Amino acid sequence: MTSFSFTKTLAVSALVAVASFNASAGLIGADVTLQAFDQPRAGDPLRVTSFDSRTTVSDAVEYATVADITDAPYSGIFLPEVNIGDSFIDFTFVDAGARRFASLFRAGYVFEFFGLNDSGLVSASVDRANSNIALQDFAPRIDGNNLYVNFAGLSVNTGSFARINLTGDAVAETVDPTDPVDGGSAAVPVPASALLLLTGLCGIGIARRAKRSA
């Protein structure tokens, strides 16, 4: 591979790497529903509430603290204040008192997002710097545009809080690495003197081959 071809290959690889990074989840402006779910044991069917909670994500708090969900089978699951940002979800137990989530296989909340700006949710993680609840690393789980957050067995009280960070998949853009308009580098013209030198070297090589074969 020539030096020019190798340099061009590196440039294209760098552009692809930049184009494929994870971006903000783009939640602002999307619609969302919040429901409670539980699963008593592994292998049991997932049970999800059906109360109406659809709203649009904005800079304001999407869900203020609401009444406990006490209707069976959701006893032991209660709702905190929920604030959704462009790439995070904050849970704040403003007036929970000393409470404990049901000790089931899974119990918590499920968010479903509609009309996301990018291509969907990619990853979810617990933000340890903004959480004082002992959520496990696997507590947040993404399934399509649904986010499940498992609080099963955890204790909370007034002042408990947690944050889940979310990322989306940035839309890759096709970039011509030789086009300055696309942010690439224009091809460098070869000077005429260099072309003359190259022609001369080729001529010398041909002459030497002819002499050897004579």
State both tokens at 113.
């997002």
How many angstroms separate the CA atoms of 104 and 76, rounded? 10
Average pLDDT over the chain, rounded to whole?
75
pLDDT exceeds 70 at position 158: yes
Of 62, 148, 54, give the one whose Cα is nearest residue 106.
Answer: 148
pLDDT exceeds 90 at position 201: no
Rg (CA), the chain: 29
Strands (E), the chain: 22-24, 31-39, 47-48, 55-56, 81-84, 88-93, 99-100, 106-114, 121-126, 140-143, 146-150, 155-156, 160-169
115-136 pLDDT tens trace = 886 568 999 999 999 999 999 9
Give the number of C-alpha atoms closer than 13 A to the C-alpha of residue 118, restricted to the C-beta side: 23
Query: What per-residue confidence (pLDDT) applies to 48?
Result: 86
pLDDT exceeds 70 at position 175: no
Give me the amino acid identity at 211. Answer: K
- Beta carbons within 10 angstroms of residue 151's beta carbon: 26
Dihedral of CA 193/194/196/197: which sign? positive
pLDDT exceeds 80 at position 138: yes
Query: What per-residue confidence (pLDDT) applies to 182?
Result: 46
What is the tally of helices (H) and strands (E) in the chain?
2, 13
Dihedral of CA 37/40/41/43: which sign? negative
